[in-house]
Amino acid sequence: MTAVIFPGQGSQFLSMAKDFNDNFDIARSIFTEIEDSCSLNVRDIIFNDSNNLLNQTNYTQISIFAASLAMYKTFENEFLDDKIKINYMLGHSLGEYSALACSNIVNIADCAKLLKIRGELMNTAVEPNKSGMAALIGLDCSEIENIIKNQKLNVEIANDNSPIQIVISGLNEFIKEYEKIFLSNNVKKFVKLNVSAAFHSKLMYDAQVKLNRYIDEVKFNNSNISIISNFNGKINNDNNDIIHCLKNQMSNRVRWTESINNLEKAGENKIIEIGPGKILSGLIKRISKSFDIISIENISDLKSFE
């Protein structure tokens, strides 16, 4: 049994998936389908980025999605056989949309349109430079929650990434003010993240409401592959549950640690990370030592499946 996972924002890099595009017809067709559905030259952004758009949220998300889909569909078309049975898919934040598309629960064009809108809404949800995020290293989620509660801090947990890495979201003035408080309460490292806003927090609520109107228009199909949703960290097979979680994802925390723990409880022991970067593989190794993890981000990584 195998689970496939997909990365989120922060994993992007210039020319990601270019080798797939250069060598496989299926990858080129996926890029074309996404570009046509969004009326956006995604490959120019990813491969050239002459206008410095790749790291802007409204372009980053659709770019990572396109790269991840090109990689997965190449893997599926060229290397996936009866020996590999995929039972679960999950992704970190925008990666959940990659999971929905690759599991065929949502078709690629609809998912691309949704993600393009999502990126635009998240990019404009809060006044520029007013809010942000910070990674806290050294404590687990419950310990960070206790600090926030006991010190009455006006920030939220955005990502429960691993037992030693938690990301908070909030207004920049509070994040800056609270750094000393966290460091004096056994947080080993406090890293302000280079993001445009406080993602996965209540500051995204209005944007989430707007996105949900578009989610309502999308058809969700049945699949033999289960989705582990960010919103509740649980294995979801019913489309009503998947939709409910998706409609709450943007303004609530990513429960990554819970997701991986539930994957382990389900008896899963093999994970394939597909997409740019190997961030998720590193996080998972800090959550559990039970998984055999393979990462695919370039065509040379496919050799282990030949």
Q: Which of 8-12, 110-114, 258-262, 302-306 has the lowest mean pLDDT?
A: 302-306
Residue 284 pLDDT greater than 80, yes or no:
yes
What residues contact 118, with CB distance under 8 A and at least 6 apart?
A: 61, 94, 97, 211, 250
Strands 235-236 and 226-228, by their bridges, are antiparallel
The confidence score (pLDDT) of residue 194 equals 86
d(CA 46, CA 44): 6
The confidence score (pLDDT) of residue 96 equals 98
For residue range 59-90, what is the model confidence (pLDDT) as tens digits?
A: 999 999 999 999 999 999 988 877 788 999 99
d(CA 184, CA 271): 37
**How much of the chain, in percent, has pLDDT values that exceed 90?**
94
Which residue segments constitute the domains of the chain, with CATH numbers given? Answer: 2-125+201-305 (3.40.366.10), 131-192 (3.30.70.250)
Residue 133 pLDDT greater than 80, yes or no:
yes
Residue 293 pLDDT greater than 90, yes or no:
yes
d(CA 181, CA 177): 8
Q: Quick check: pTM over 0.85?
A: yes
The confidence score (pLDDT) of residue 305 equals 79
What is the chain's mean pLDDT, rounded?
96
Which band of pLDDT confidence, cut at 50, 70 and 90, is reported for residue 252? very high
